[in-house]
Amino acid sequence: MRKAVAFTGPSNSGKTSIIVKIADILIKERKIAIIKNDPKDKARFDTEGKDSYKFSATGADVAVISPKKTTLFVKQEKPLQKIIDFFDDFDLLLVEGLKTYPLPRIAIFRDNIDESYFDYSGAIAIDDSIDLEKYNIPKHIDILDLNNPSEIIKWIDKNAKIV
Summarised one tens digit per residue, pLDDT across range 39-52 is 666 666 667 887 77
Exposure of 125 in the CB half-sphere (CA atoms within 13 A): 28
Strands 3-8 vs 161-162: parallel, antiparallel or unpaired = antiparallel
Between the ranges 27-36, 41-50, 84-93, 149-158, where is the mean pLDDT highest? 149-158
Instruction: Indicate the DSSP class of residue 17.
Output: H
Poorest-pLDDT segment among 17-21, 34-38, 104-108, 143-147: 34-38
Alpha helices by DSSP H, listed for 51-160, are 51-57, 80-87, 149-159
pTM, two decimals, is 0.87
Ordered by where they begin, the domains of the chain are 3-43+77-162 (3.40.50.300)
Q: Are 34 and 49 in contact (CB under 8 A)?
A: no
Pairing of strands 32-36, 105-109: unpaired
